Structure 1
Amino acid sequence: MELKDILAIKKATDSLGEGELKPYLRFILAEIKLMKEQEGTLEAAVAELIELYDELMGLQEKRAVWSPVPTCTHVHIVVGDSFAGSMKQALKGLGCAETHKLITLRENYAIGPLDGLDSPEGRKARSNWFRNNITEAFEAYTEFEEEYNELLDKLEQIPEQAEVIVWTSGNACEQAGMRHALYLLRNKRNSISVNDACAICEELYNRPDAFINYRYSGEIPSDKLRETITRLDGKGKLCAADIARLEREWQVITEQTGTLRIWRDSAVLEVPAEYYDQYLLEKLDDLKPPVGDNGFLKSARLIGEAIGYCEQYIGDSYFEYRLRELIYDGILEIKGVPAAMHFYSIRRKQQRTGKADFQSALLSMSQPNNSENTSS
């Protein structure tokens, strides 16, 4: 399978909301069970799976109806395919899919260079960094450039009467994305509001004895998101001064030259690329590798642990990139092929006694002790 095929599958599955993904998974597992138990013909099961594949991959074209149209009354701008999938499900559930349209910023703004992102040179530099460091990178610069131009086209299509709702939450990815959206909307005269989906959802549903702290909006199930949307009622509307301030903050972010950002003290802060390296090593030391595997641990398990306990939303691809850097630096050693996190295991670099070291040790043992010779 070629990289472009893997990326197309990832794009198709990332765009699914939780309510859409689970039925597909259940169907696939049921078909596998039938094949395993040899119930029915293999040809029939394969045909069912191929039909499911074609339907899933074809959803990308059907989703085009979510782009702004002249008659829409609201346009929701979200960051990330996962949140976009949940938002689509929520709007469908509210029965307002015809009047509420959606624009998705697909970037992970927490990682990779953002310097000059709104210029062709800056976008090319970002694309090159992803291709060189992230296994799930963009296939080519041309595709990345096409996505950026497609985003500009959708923003231009927003009708004057539509209310624009930009969604964000307490992480660098969505906070930087929100500021980028406002910068790109700088010439529009629409009413614009900014709302924190996670904060609203936590206020609605958290109780002292049962609560969830969401790190990014993609974690919110569509049923809770529906209620969040109904509670907006004009909240979060920005004045011209607010918009201008957030636009300037975006320009400051794009002057940063680093490749990792976190959300702290109400600001998107640049931190060193190795910011989480020690955190990863500590998590590795805490985990117990399987018995009989010479201390090697599946990298996917370590990354899952790191994501689960990290207060920031960074994404698994960056943690996997840093694992490979630790391997290159000789701090970790690898078993397997680092094509993707599921294909290799890691452990702390083991100290080995080479042949030369062994011979040197024997030689030193055979020499008389100088202090003893002096005393005699």
Structure 2
Amino acid sequence: MSEEIEDSYKKLHEKITKFKDEDIYLWYGNSAMETCGMLHVLSMLEEKIENVCTINVSDITYNTGKRNDYTPRVVGELTPERLGEFIGINQSMDFSRYSSLMSLWKQLKREKSNLRIYEDKEVKSVQEDYYDEMILRYTYKKFMYSARTVGEVIGKVESYVSDSIIFGK
């Protein structure tokens, strides 16, 4: 599995180095996974930052003020029909913002954490057992399919967490 991941990163890096003067839009949401992904890609675009814009899908909340207000946590929580609404909120990259984001990226890499969460508007490194208590809270004594427990945890956690984290893959 790690060879597949390493191969994917190499292919991504090759594609990024071929960019010339294209405009580049990095889409992400308020989740550790997408923020770290955006930071990683941004670190590879160092010489092309004047062409980079970021779009945070968590910057728009739907049904504001209603009982069912909803803020997307990751890009995948949007329907394709809604993507056009976000083009107007893109943020251009400048050197100051780039430097700040790269400082954050260097700090996260130094921590070498296996698990990060998005909390209080920032990415934080946490211990690998961070979700254990919550998983146990939704694990009932009678038989239940593991997918049900995972679904309960994903549904209750405020920041986005993938099922692979809960399953412990």
TM-score (norm 1): 0.42
Instruction: Pick from 136, 143, 168 the counterpart of residue 281 of structure 1.
Output: 136
Which secondary structure state, in structure 1, belongs to the residue aligned with residue 47 of structure 2?
A: coil
> Which residue identity does 1:298 align to in structure 2?
Y
Q: Does residue 146 in structure 1 map to residue 4 in structure 2?
A: no
Question: Is 1:182–2:29 an aligned residue pair?
Answer: no
Cα distance, 1:189 vs structure 2: 5.0
Q: CA 1:196/1:220 → structure 2, altered by over 3 Å: closer, same or farther?
A: same
* Structure number, greater radius of gyration: 1
- Offset of residue 191 of structure 1: 2.1
Please give the secondary structure, in 1, of the residue aligned with 2:106.
helix
Identical amino acids, percent of aligned pairs: 28
Corresponding residue for residue 75 of structure 2: 217
Q: Does the CA-based 8 Å contact 1:168-1:217 persist in structure 2?
A: yes
User: Is this contact kept in 2: 1:164–1:190, CA < 8 A?
Assistant: no
- The change in CA–CA distance for 1:216 and 1:189 in structure 2 (over 3 A counts) is closer
Tell me, yes or no, if structure 1 residue 314 matches structure 2 residue 169.
no
How far is 1:146 from its partner? Answer: 2.0
CA distance in 1, matches of 2:158, 2:133: 15
SS of the residue corresponding to residue 213 of structure 1 reads coil
Deviations 1:308-347 (A, max 9, x none): 111121200111118xxxxxxxxxxxxxxxxxxxxxxxxx
User: Does the alignment pair 1:239 with 2:97?
Assistant: no
Match of 2:63 in 1: 206
Taking the aligned partners of 2:127 and 2:16, their CA distance within structure 1 comes to 33
Partner residue of 1:303 out of 139, 147, 150: 150
Aligned-residue offset at 1:144 = 2.4
The answer on whether the counterparts of 1:198 and 1:220 sit within 8 Å (CA) in structure 2 is no
Mapped pair 1:264 → 2:119: yes
Per the TM alignment, residue 194 of structure 1 is displaced from its structure 2 partner at its CA by 1.6
Q: Which residue number corresponds to residue 168 of structure 1?
A: 28
Q: Which amino acid aligns with 1:208?
A: G
* Structure 2: segments with no counterpart, 5+ residues: none
Q: How many Å separate the matches in 1 of 2:49 and 2:118? A: 29
Distance change >3 Å, CA 237–CA 189, structure 1 → 2: closer
Structure 1 counterpart SS, 2:139: helix
RMSD (Å) for aligned C-alpha atoms: 1.9
Bigger relative contact order (CA 8 A; separation at least 6): 2
